[in-house]
Structure 1
C-alpha cells in the first residue's frame, strides 16, 4: 500500500486561499462532517499572500482542529504555486485539490478513498455537481468504474482540477501544476498526468464535490486572449505526449476544440462580449485552431459544431456571432406525454423534437442520400454540406435526469428511447420518445431520493446540439396519486412554470398523544410512590 507518511492520514485536501472570506467556513465544516473521520484526513491550506485577515482566520480555525495545517507564501498571483506547496506539505496517501469556496458531501472522501484503493487507481474522479451553473463532463458520471478510459468514458471532459491523486503517483512522475500558467493550469495538470497513463476510477453513485458558482469565480472572468491560447498550446503539447493511439489523442483535441473555441460562440460568450475584446479573442482562437487543431478533426464533430468550426477556420466572426444568439441556436422543448404509477415507480413518457431558437420545428432537408439540418438563411450554400446528419441519428443520446433542486445534482434514470423522422409540410423533423422508470428507492444511482423538491430534465445530445431542458407538463395531463414507500412519500406535481417536478417528504411515525403521554407519566408516578411505601 502506498504511504506518503507512515503515520499520516489517508487523504490530504489541498486548498489554495486568497482573500477567501466566509466560504472557507463552509469548506471546513464540510470536511469536519466527513464520514471517513477527521483522524483519516487532513486539510492543508496555503495562503497566497492575501494581505488581509485570511491567514488569521485560517490560524484561528486550525487552533482547535488538529487535522488542519496552515502555510503562507508570498503572493504568486494564481493557485498553481500554493497548490504545489500544499502537495509537498501533504502527508496523505491521496491528495484532493479543492477550491476555497467549494464543499464536499459527507460521504465523499470515504467513497473516493475506498474506490481508489479497491481499483489500485492513480486518479479518482468523484461525481461533481456545479451549483449555479451547468455541470461539466456530466457523461463521465453515468456509472461508477474502476478503470475509466480517458476519452471513451468521457473522463477528460471533466475539465476541472477537483480530482484525487495517489500521492506516490504525483511524486514518482513529478506531476505538479505548471506555475508559469495563469490560465488553464487545471486542464494542463489533467493532460500532464495522462502522459503517464494513470488508472482512473470514477465514483458516480454518490455526489462528492460541490462546485459553487458565483460572481467571484476567477474562471468566469475574461482571460487575456494571448495568454489564454498560449496556455492552450501548452495543454496540447501534453496531449501530443500521451502514450495512446492517435485516434485517442484526436478525441482529446476535439474535447479542447469544443471547450476552448466552439463553445465560446454560445449566447454568454462571443455575442455578449464587447466588440474589441470579441475580435481579439476570436483572432487568437482562430490562430490556435489553424496551428494546432487541423480540419481533419471536424469530421468527428456533430453537424452544429462542424458549422461553427468551419466559420472559425474561414475567419467569419460576424456570422459566428449572429448564429450564437439565442433565437438562432437549435434547442429542444421536451414535454410529458404520460405519467403513471406502477410497482412503486413512476413511469414517465417524454417526447422531444429539435427546434429552432425561435421555437419552430427544426426541419431537415433531403439532398440525395444526405439529410441536412436546414441551414439558417445566413449560412452560405457552400457550407450546407457540413450539416449532413444522416449518419448521426444512431449516435444520439437522450436521457431523463432527476435533479435535486437545492443542489443541481443530476441523476440518470433508466429509460428506453425510440427515435423517428416525422414528415411535416416543410420536410422531416427529428423526434424522440423516452419512457423512463423513476423509482424513488433507487433513483440516485441505486440510492433512495431524499426529502425535497426534484425536477425532471431531459438531456438531448444530437448533431453537436447539447440541450438540458426542464420537462414541460401539459395542464390537462392527469397525475397519479402519490407513491408511498415506508415513511417516504413522492408526489408528482406541476410547477408554477408548467414543469413536472416531484415533492418528496418523510412522514414520522405517529407517537403517543400529549394526553396519553401525560397519563403514562401519571401512572409511572403512582408506581414509584407505591414502591417507596413498600420499601419503608
Structure 2
C-alpha cells in the first residue's frame, strides 16, 4: 500500500449481500487508467449474512490497493460510507454503490480536473442503465465552478457518485445521516457539501460513473404508498431550507426546491394516481397537501407547466376528488420523437426530425380550437376553479422543442448533439408538433471527441415548458445512410424494432442489408459482382462483409416447400428458410460506388438477401442462369 501522502483517491464501497454486480464493480476498478499505486478502494461490509465477506477477501488477496472493514449491520449504506471515510487516506474520496461501475478514465481525469481547479467536490458525467437521457442537462460542458449555476443544482443528480475532498469533509464534519433506513441520504449529504463548499466543479467531457439500476436497489424501493416516503420528503425539504440560506446559495436553494416540488410532490398526481387504493389516495393527498402548505408557497407554482399548476391549485384548495378526476381527464402525455430522413453531407450525418405528443396507447392531448388558440378539451368547470387561462395550451405548444442525443448501447453514455427545432400548429383542427434537424458528426459528437466505433442508439428530448421526456427515436420509413471513410464504414438506419441507430463497422448489421442492388450482376469466372446503391465514400477501399444466399435450384426449393407443407399443420407459416447460408464477401468501394463480390459457381441459380433494411425494397435478389435476374421476397416494414 502506498503511503498516505501519495494517495490521490480513496474509493469507498458499502457492501451488503452483494450479488453479481460486485464483479462488475471490481472489473471497472481493475480497468482504471489511474495507476493502482495512486488510489485505494475500501470495502466496508454492513454485516452481510451470506458469502459477501469471503468474496471480498478473495478480491483483496489479488490486489495491493484493497482494504476491508466489517461492521455490524446498520440497515443502510450511510454507516458503512462513514466508516470508509474515516479510514480513507486519499486526497479525495469517491463513493460507489456495490453494483455500479466507473468508466476507465474516471479516477484519473476526475482527480486531475478537481486538483486543477481546487474543487471541494467534483460532479462527474454519469449515465444510468434505465434512462437514456439521465442527467444530460447537468453536464452541458466542463465547468470549473458551478455554485453560481441558476438553472441546475450544482450537485445534480444528487446521488453520492462523485469526488469529495477528504480534508473538506473532515473540516466541516460532513457525513451521511445514520440511523437505519434513511431515504435520500445522498441529498442530505450533498446539501451540506453545497453549504460549505467554495468550489464545486463539473466534469462533462469524460464519462465518470455508470449507475446500474437493478431490481431491488435502494431507490427502486422508495414508494409513495409508504408513509416513510412522505416523512423523509418533508425532512429533506426542511434540510434544504435550513442549510442553503447564504445569499450566494439562494439560486441553488430555489432550483433544488423547485425540483422536489415538481418531480416528487406534484408529479405524484400522475396517470397512476387514480388507480391506487382509496385509503392510499387519501393518505397521499393529505401528506402532499401538508408539505405544500408548510414549505411551498404559491410562487413555486409559476415554475410548473399549466397541467402542474392546475394540480397544485386543486391540492392547495383541498379538492381531493376533483384532483383525482383531473389525473384522468388531463393525463401526462410524453413526446414521441421520430427521424424522417438522414443523409451524409459535409462530413456528418444530417437528420430531419419530428415529434408529436402521444403515449404508448396512441393517446394524445384532448384539445379544442377556439380561434387561433388550443385549449384542453375537458370539463370547463375546471376553469372555474383553477382559472380558464390554465386550460389554454397554446403558448406551451409554441414553446415546445426537440433535441437529439446519441447513446452507446455498450456503455450507456449519452451525448447531446447539435439540434434545432420549430413547433407547428395546424391552421385548422387541433394537430400540432415539432419539426427540426440535427447533426451527428462521428468525429466530434462526444463533446468534441470521436464516438466509439460501436453501436449508438439515437434518442431525443421532447420538451414543453415545465416538463420534458427522453425517449428513443424511431422510424419505419427511414432510408439508411451509409458512409465509408479511411477508418471504415458507418451507417444510420432503423433496426427491426424501429429504433434508429448509428452502427460502426457492421457491428449490428452487414452493409449488404442496407444497400440496394443496381442493374444486373456480372461475372468474372467464378466471381459474381453486383453494384449496390445507397452509400457515399471518401476513399476507395475493400470491406470484408457477409451475405446470405440460397444456392438451391428452383426445383429443389419447390420440393422443399412442398415437403414442409405436407409436414406442417394447416395454416402454419410456409416460408422455407432451410436452404439459406452465410458466406464471405467483399464490398469494393470505387469512386463513390459500391460493388459486392463473392464466389459463385458458373451458371449457378441462387437467391441473395440484399437491402432488407431499406423501406419499400424487396429483400431477396433472384439470380438465374446466364446472369438473368429477378426480385422476389417481402417488402420491408
Normalising by structure 1, report the TM-score.
0.84
Kindly provide the CA deviation profile for residues 184-226 of structure 1, in whole angstroms up to 9, marking residues without a partner as x. Answer: 1111111121111442211222222111111121211144744
Distance 1:215 1:500, change over 3 A: same
1:456 aligns with 2:465: no
The 2-side partners of 1:31 and 1:379 are apart by 59
The 1-side partners of 2:22 and 2:82 are apart by 19
Match of 2:341 in 1: 338
The 1-side partners of 2:104 and 2:184 are apart by 29
Match of 2:389 in 1: 385
Larger fraction in helix: 1
DSSP-derived class of the 1:461 partner = strand
1:31 is aligned, of 29, 32, 35, to 29
- Contact 1:257 1:293 survives alignment (8 Å): yes
Task: Give the superposition deviation at 1:430.
Answer: 4.5
Match of 1:123 in 2: 121
Distance 1:313 1:351, change over 3 A: same
**Could you say which structure has the larger radius of gyration?**
2
Task: Give the superposition deviation at 1:57.
Answer: 1.4
The 1-side partners of 2:205 and 2:392 are apart by 37
- Contact 2:14 2:45 survives alignment (8 Å): yes
Q: CA RMSD in A?
A: 3.1
The 1-side partners of 2:374 and 2:313 are apart by 16
- Contact 1:328 1:358 survives alignment (8 Å): no
Task: Give the superposition deviation at 1:232.
Answer: 2.6
The 2-side partners of 1:144 and 1:316 are apart by 46
DSSP-derived class of the 1:227 partner = helix
- Contact 2:403 2:420 survives alignment (8 Å): no
The 1-side partners of 2:314 and 2:359 are apart by 19
Between stretches 91-100 and 454-463, larger displacement belongs to 454-463
Kindly provide the CA deviation profile for residues 486-519 of structure 1, in whole angstroms up to 9, marking residues without a partner as x. Answer: 32321112222233222112799999xxxxxxxx
Match of 1:200 in 2: 200
- Contact 2:7 2:89 survives alignment (8 Å): yes
Aligned positions of 1:130-141 closer than 5 A: 130-133=128-131, 136-141=134-139
1:58 is aligned, of 45, 56, 59, to 56
1:43 is aligned, of 19, 41, 44, to 41
- Contact 1:27 1:104 survives alignment (8 Å): yes
- Contact 1:492 1:500 survives alignment (8 Å): yes
Aligned positions of 1:126-525 closer than 5 A: 126-133=124-131, 136-148=134-146, 149-180=148-179, 182-223=182-223, 225-240=226-241, 241-242=243-244, 243=246, 244=248, 246-267=250-271, 270=273, 273-317=276-320, 320=323, 324=327, 328-355=331-358, 359=362, 362=365, 373-374=375-376, 376-377=378-379, 380-381=382-383, 382-383=385-386, 384-388=388-392, 396-426=400-430, 429-475=431-477, 477-480=478-481, 482-505=482-505
Match of 2:108 in 1: 110
Task: Give the superposition deviation at 1:298.
Answer: 0.5
Task: Give the superposition deviation at 1:328.
Answer: 2.9
Between stretches 149-158 and 46-55, larger displacement belongs to 149-158
- Contact 2:34 2:108 survives alignment (8 Å): yes
The 1-side partners of 2:323 and 2:497 are apart by 32
Match of 1:81 in 2: 79
Kindly provide the CA deviation profile for residues 409-467 of structure 1, in whole angstroms up to 9, marking residues without a partner as x. Answer: 221001223334332324xx553322211011112222222233222111022133312
The 2-side partners of 1:325 and 1:206 are apart by 43
Between stretches 331-340 and 62-71, larger displacement belongs to 331-340
Uncovered stretches (5+) of structure 1, i.e. residues with no partner: 512-536
Task: Give the superposition deviation at 1:292.
Answer: 1.2
DSSP-derived class of the 2:505 partner = strand
Task: Give the superposition deviation at 1:322.
Answer: 5.5
Aligned residue pairs, count? 502
The 2-side partners of 1:378 and 1:356 are apart by 24
Kindly provide the CA deviation profile for residues 106-127 of structure 1, in whole angstroms up to 9, marking residues without a partner as x. Answer: 1111121111112211111111
Distance 1:73 1:217, change over 3 A: same
The 2-side partners of 1:36 and 1:325 are apart by 53
Uncovered stretches (5+) of structure 2, i.e. residues with no partner: 508-540, 545-637
The 2-side partners of 1:259 and 1:500 are apart by 29
